[in-house]
Structure 1
Amino acid sequence: MSRIIAGIAGGVPLASVPGSATRPTTDRVKEALFSRLDALGMVQRARVLDLFAGSGALGVEAASRGASTVELVESEAKAAQVCERNARTVNDAVGRRAVTVRRSKVSTFLERVPPGPHWDLVLMDPPYPLGEGQLAAVLSAVALRLAPDAIVVVERSARSPEPDWPEGLTHYADRKYGETRLWFAEPAPAESAAARLDAAEGA
Structure 2
Amino acid sequence: MRIISGIHKGKRLTAPKKLPVRPTTDMAKEALFNILNNRYYFDELIVLDLFAGTGNISYEFASRGTEQISAVDADYGCIRFINETSAALEMGIAAYKSDVFGYLEKSKEKATIIFADPPYDIPLESFEKIPELVFKNDLLLENGLLIIEHASQMDLSHLDNFVEKRKYGGSIFSFFENPDPN
TM-score normalised by the chain length of structure 2:
0.90
**Corresponding residue number in structure 2 for 1:153:** 147
**Corresponding residue number in structure 1 for 2:35:** 36
1:120 to 79, 102, 112: 112
Q: Which amino acid aligns with 1:130?
A: I
**Corresponding residue number in structure 1 for 2:95:** 101
Q: Which amino acid aligns with 1:53?
A: A
**Corresponding residue number in structure 2 for 1:140:** 132
**Corresponding residue number in structure 2 for 1:47:** 46
Alpha-carbon distance in 2 for matches of 1:78, 1:124: 18
1:175 to 163, 166, 172: 166
Q: Which runs of 4+ in 1 moved over 4 A?
A: none
Alpha-carbon distance in 1 for matches of 2:86, 2:19: 21
Structure 2's unaligned 5+ residue stretches are none
How far the C-alpha of 1:177 sits from its partner, in A, is 1.0
**Corresponding residue number in structure 2 for 1:200:** none
How far the C-alpha of 1:15 sits from its partner, in A, is 3.1
Q: Structure 1 residues 45 and 171 mapped into 2: Cα distance closer, same or farther (>3 Å)?
A: same
- 38-47 or 141-150, larger mean C-alpha shift: 38-47
What RMSD in Å do the two structures reach over aligned CA positions? 1.9
SS at match of 1:79: helix
**Corresponding residue number in structure 2 for 1:186:** 177
How far the C-alpha of 1:171 sits from its partner, in A, is 1.7
> Number of residue pairs matched?
180
- Does the aligned pair in 2 maintain the 1:135–1:163 contact within 8 Å? no
Q: Which amino acid aligns with 1:178?
A: G
TM-score normalised by the chain length of structure 1:
0.81
How far the C-alpha of 1:16 sits from its partner, in A, is 1.9
Alpha-carbon distance in 1 for matches of 2:38, 2:26: 18
